[in-house]
Structure 1
Amino acid sequence: MMKNIECQSDLIKIENKTYPCTVSLVMDLIGGKWKAVILYHLKENPKRYNELRKEMPTVTERTLSLQLKQLEEDKIIFRKVEGQKPPIKVTYGLTEFGKSFSEVLESITTLGNSIASQKGILINK
């Protein structure tokens, strides 16, 4: 079992970033409106950019591109480019580090399903 390091110091430094706690560290990696959603859609298998756009129709192209770049920089997802000249095939998938978030994503999904069932209304477009 992993040792809990949460309260062993005032700050945690990883590369160039300093965090006040381990929760802050994780939220920097997958927090915000779209990062966890992207990881959820990549949990089963790698996908192309347009597949992700179809599965997340309310995200803007700019936001999706920026979030994918950040997730790639943090080594949570990989970007695989196939082919030399257009049309090239680009796919995104979870790295081993990215797969380590699966338990957290499952908990978020379960909680979201529960809240939606109790308080939400499903809308079909």
Structure 2
Amino acid sequence: MGSTNTNKRVAPRKEVSPIHVSYLTSLDDFAKIAKDCEIVEASSTGLLLLITREDLIPSALRKNLNLDCLIGDRVFMHLEEMNLEVSGVITRTQLLGKKGFYVAVDYSDEAPQYWRECLMDLLPTPGELD
């Protein structure tokens, strides 16, 4: 029987050809968090960003081994190739060693479901743009 978990992932993930995000900015104080990061995985509820340490803008974040202080922050990002701005909430972060960090952004409360599903259809899969 297990307990009901309301935070279960229901949308299938899609590995995407890296989509350039020119900036990730806080909606609370409009401070830029990161620049030149990439979306590496997506679903109709969230985006997974790969951020290198060098692309983190606040020096306090660059020196840190975890970015958990960002969890719960409302952010927006600019998807360069699509000339599109997407906003959401940072739900988790993960250190990847020298590669940098994964930062997951849930955007399900910020956009209607049909729009999110259309975005998923438009995001290229690896090799699709080669």
Give the TM-score category using the shorter length.
under 0.3
- Give TM-score scaled by structure 1 length: 0.24
Rg bigger for which structure?
A: 1
Q: Which protein is richer in strand relative to its size?
A: 2
Higher relative contact order (CA 8 A, sep 6+): 2
Q: Which protein is richer in helix relative to its size?
A: 1
- Give TM-score scaled by structure 2 length: 0.23
